[in-house]
Structure formats: C-alpha cells, structure tokens
Chain A
Amino acid sequence: MNNKIILRVENVSKSFGGIKAVSGVSFELNRGEIMGVIGPNGSGKTTLNNLITGFIKKDGGKVWFNGTDITNWPEHKIADAGLTRTFQVMRPYPTLPVYKNLIPPLYSARARRSVGGKQGDRKARAIDLLEEVGFERDAQVPYKLAGSLPLGYLKRLELCRCLALRPELIVCDEIFSGLSASEIASMLPLMEKLRDHGITLIMVEHRLRELFRIANKVIVLNFGEKIAEDEPKHIFSNEKVHQAYFGGEVTYVSEDNGLFASDQ
C-alpha cells in the first residue's frame, strides 16, 4: 500500500429501495490534498459521504483509510481513526454553550491521546480551537448557547468539532452552502490553512467557483455514478459533465475561468 494514499474507495454501492443512490464509485485520494465532489442535486454526493464515514451501511465495495480496511467499521470507530465529517444540516448541541459543544469530541479517546484527560485542559483547548477557526477569544460568542448562533458561526463550529479530534481527513458536506460571498471568502483561507497543516479534505460542494480555487482534483457524480475525475480546470471540458450539468452542448464558455457557461 502506497503511503501517499490516505483514502482508497473501491466500487462502493448503495441502493435505497429501487433507487441506486451510489453505484460502483472508486477513487484514490493523496495525503494533504483537497478533493471536490460535485454533481447535480440527487446525484449521490451526500450518500457517498455517509458511506465513507460509515453513517450508512454499504451494499458493496470497500474503503481503505491509511491502508486499513474500514469498510464495516462503526462510525465512531472511523472517527476515532482520524476520518471525521461535518454535516450538511448543522448538528450543534443547541442547549449547550458554544465552547461546551467541543467537550464531547475532546472527551473521545482520540482527542485524549493528544490533549490529556483533565477537565480543565479540555475547556482551555476548546477555547483555543474556537479561536483557531475565527471565534474571538474574549467576546461573548463562545459562551452563548449554540442554538442562538448565526449560520456562519455554526459552520465554523461544525468544522471545529472535527478539528477537536485532530483528524487526518475531514469530509465537509456543503460547508459553503447558505453562506454569503464574503463569508465564503473568509472560509477559504481557513480551508487552505487546514490543508497546510497536513489535513486532507474532501469537499462536497455546489459552490463550484470557490471550490475550484482551492481543490486539487474534482470527481463528478451523476445518478450515483462517477462520470469524471480530473483537475478543476479541465473538468468541464469533459463531455459527460456538460451533459449532467447543462443538459446539452455548451456553445459559449466564459473566458475568466471557464465555468458557469450557459448554452446561449
């Protein structure tokens, strides 16, 4: 097994009733890269996400993480191995203050190996982590109830919950969705910072322009099948991707970055 490859997904499939949500998807991901997963609505992006992180059972296929077969591991064991995720619908603990939201992940066996087992350590570490993702240390925000946070902060908190585990790979499920352009602009350097710290990222996204600015490679799903895998700048020259996204031939490609073409 090549040590450069952190995640290998081979032929994973999942059907819900008669619908093939994901069928036969395979890819390899190198350590320290950012991989985008794109595709039209209902193309199986989130299901793929759930399959990798163990949140739903696979019908078939295999997943290796760091050379270990994690195909049938339960979700908490996968997270403990360093493969963690954010959720598309944010999942904070609304009745707890923001910094206490980070206590459960910091209590996990994986985090305890790096932070230590004392309660005081965990509180201090929680505040540190919040500062790392852009919460101000002395402001009131970390002490407010998480249920009262605006969306932008919730997304950061979601990411923070992953970071508390000191993960090697984070699967981000539409972390930019619902954010304004300026909020995304402030998230992008954060994602790049994570990559520079050696964290590999899989980003399921609809915001292609922002994604393509940071991604190393992109895979495209349509009706549960992988139809393309390429660098961001080449991906839209693929015929199948055109078909999936625009439903036909593209006759005009804008010159700035070759995206968001329309068939005018």
Chain B
Amino acid sequence: MQDKRKERIDRGVKVRSDTIYAISSMKEIMYLIGPRMGLVLFLLALPLVLPIYWQKVVSITAVYALLAVSFGFLSSYVGLVNLGGALFVGVGGYISGLLNSAYGLPLYISIPAATLLGALFCTLVLLPCLPLRGIYFAIVSFVYPLAAVRIISATGAFGGTDGIAGLDMIGSGYGSQYFIIVTLLLVTFGVSRLVSAEDIGLIFRGVKDNEQAIKASGLNLTMYKAVAVFIGALIGSFAGAWLAHLYGWVGMSLMATDFSILPLAATVVGGTSTIYGPLVGTLLLVPISEALRDFGTLRIVFYSVAMVFFVVFWTEGLLIYIKRKYEQFERWVRV
C-alpha cells in the first residue's frame, strides 16, 4: 500500500475564477448546467408523479427549503448564524393571518404584505444584535421566537394559545404547488447569483470574512448586515405567510423551534458554505421525517443518530461530497 497513493484530477472545464469559465463546446455547457437542470426538472416533476398525500408534503418541504436557503445565505455568506428562523415564520404568519382575518384582505394581498412588513419588523427587532456575529448571534437570535411565544401566551394577544383560525386557505391544486416550487427555485437561484456575481453580495461575503476591513473600506457595517437580515427575513416571512394560509390557521406553533433548527440540521446533512447544501438537506430530511411519522416521537432518535453520523463521519456533507465526485476523478498511482 505504501507505494501507491490516490490522485485527484479535475475534470471540470477550465476555471479562471469562481464565476469565469472558458467554455468551448456544448458538452462543457451541459457539464455546467446539467446538475442545475436536473434539480429544476426533478422538483417540477414531483407534483405530477406523487400521490395526493405526498404532494402536500412537497409543499411543506418547499416551505422548509425556503427557510434553509435563508439560513444558508445568512450563515455561509454574511456570517450571521441565524437560529431565529421561527421568528421569521411566526411574524410572517401572524401578520398575514391578522391582515386576512381582521381586515379581510384576500390572501394574494395579505401574503406579499406580510412578507414585506414581516421582514421589516424582524430586521428592526434584530437590529440591536447586529454587532454580534457567528455563534453569539446564533444564541441571541434563538431566544427571540421563544420569547415571542411566551409573550403571546402570557398576554393572550392575537388569539393567545388558541391562535387565529378560519383564514383563507390556499388550494391544493397544481397551481399552488407549482407556485411554491417555482418560488423556491427563483429564490435559490436569485440568492446564489446575488452572492456570486453581484457586488453587494461580495460585500456580504466580505462582512463574513472580515468586518474590520469592511469598516476600513468606508462601508457602514451595521447597515449592510441589516440589509442581509432583511433579505433573509423576506424569504422567511414569505414562508411563514404561505404556511399560515396552507393550514388556514396561525398560532404559537408557527414559532416552533423546528423552524429554527431544521435549517441547521439540513445544512449539516447537505453541506455548509453553499446555498444548495441546505436545500438538498431539506429535500432529504423533511420527507424522511414524514415517512417516519408512524414511529411517533421515536423519529427524533433517528434524527439524532443521522445527525451524529454526519457530524462525526461525514463532516463535508452530502452536496460537497457529490460535487467533489462530479468535478474530480480519482485514481491510484504508483509513487
């Protein structure tokens, strides 16, 4: 064994920088866009081939996936590990629910309005924590939804523990399914383009890499962090508003810790430092957790075991592993 070693060779097209490729044939174009096309076609085909029950699961998975994309954007590209996903969902859901039930606005107005107002509200309440970063931001942002739940149950505001029922429901037809899937795809591609090709995305990545250098560049650090949180909260609030009308009900369970933790788990499984990692992780975890519903609370055990497996044995995550296999081939060479 000593005289052999594993050699890894790039099989990709020649890359000069992370967004500049030298493409010379159709084959190379397919090599680049093939995986992305595969993802799009896979998601678009799902409602057509699945039975009714699983179509509903796809819609909910898409909602979780939006949250995961929001988490991936904030943690991998801005350096704000946001465990307050439940706050985004809850605020988006409650605002949409109130607009719909108290003011009688139809859902095609209440959802966009809740998306905007919710993002604005979340950005404002998170503003005091923006000097923090990384794990410190995670701790503080985790507390927000927990505190919000206690405040609602203690004061009985917005229906208290009963929540607000009787909201307009989103139909379960192909229209609504494709709407959420296409939204998910647009958001995913939009965010990944933002951080790889747009100048403001580069500033976000600069904020993650080096806050001092951003300040020395004459840029207002807090403002750019706030803009990033606003973008993340837009996605999360939309997911919340959509979920509220999918269930026809808003309540404290919209601020459940699941919404904060699942994106993190999906990132561990899918792979860090990409937008697609959390997305792929969610597409795996949520259906699996749904399939294990018969086992009741025992599925938490399965979840934990899977998590430990990935953390200990497969740190790079699924997507990074697949990406490496796709871009490089290995062979044993004699030394």
Contacts and interface: CB of A to CB of B under 8 A. Distances in A.
A93 B209 CA distance: 5
Contacts of A105: 217-219
B218 A108 contact: yes
Given A96-B209, A104-B219, A109-B218, 17 more contacts: A53-B216, A76-B218, A77-B218, A85-B216, A91-B210, A91-B213, A92-B210, A92-B213, A97-B17, A97-B18, A103-B202, A104-B213, A105-B219, A107-B199, A107-B217, A143-B20, A164-B217
A95 B209 contact: yes
B250 to A, nearest CB: 39
B205 A96 contact: yes
A84 B215 CA distance: 10
Nearest to A99: B17
A217 interface: no
Contacts of B221: 76
A99 B20 CA distance: 13
B205 A93 contact: yes
Nearest to B20: A143
Contacts of A93: 205-206, 209-210, 213
Interface in A73-129: 74-77, 79-80, 84-85, 87, 91-97, 99-101, 103-111, 119, 122
A156 interface: no
B212 interface: yes
A105 B219 CA distance: 7
A96 B216 contact: no
Interface of B: 16-18, 20, 198-200, 202-203, 205-206, 208-210, 212-221
A223 interface: no
B104 to A, nearest CB: 43
B203 A76 contact: no
A76 B217 CA distance: 7
Contacts, number: 93
Nearest to B198: A119
Contacts of A79: 215-218
B215 to A, nearest CB: 4
A15 to B, nearest CB: 22
Interface residues of A, number: 38
A45 interface: no
A107 B206 CA distance: 12
A58 interface: no
A161 B217 contact: yes
A55 interface: yes
B210 to A, nearest CB: 5
A164 B206 CA distance: 15
A241 interface: no
B35 to A, nearest CB: 22
A48 interface: no
A104 B17 contact: no
B192 to A, nearest CB: 15
Contacts of A107: 199-200, 202-203, 217, 219
> Which of A92, A93, A140 lies at the interface centre, i.e. has the most chain B CB atoms within 10 A of its CB?
A93
A194 to B, nearest CB: 17
B222 to A, nearest CB: 9
B111 to A, nearest CB: 32
B219 A76 contact: yes
Given A91-B212, A119-B198, A143-B16, A96 B206 contact: yes
> Which of B199, B202, B214, B216 lies at the interface centre, i.e. has the most chain A CB atoms within 10 A of its CB?
B216
A211 interface: no
Contacts of A55: 212, 215
A91 B215 CA distance: 11
Contacts of A175: none
Contact of B218 (A95, A100, A101, A110): A110
Contact of B199 (A74, A76, A101, A122): A122
Contacts of A100: 17, 202
A107 B219 CA distance: 8
A165 interface: yes
A106 B217 CA distance: 8
Given A103-B202, A143-B20, A165 B217 contact: yes
Closest 10 interchain pairs by CB?
Answer: A79-B218, A105-B217, A108-B218, A93-B209, A80-B218, A91-B213, A143-B17, A75-B215, A104-B206, A103-B202
A104 B218 CA distance: 9
Contacts of A91: 210, 212-213, 216
Nearest to A102: B217
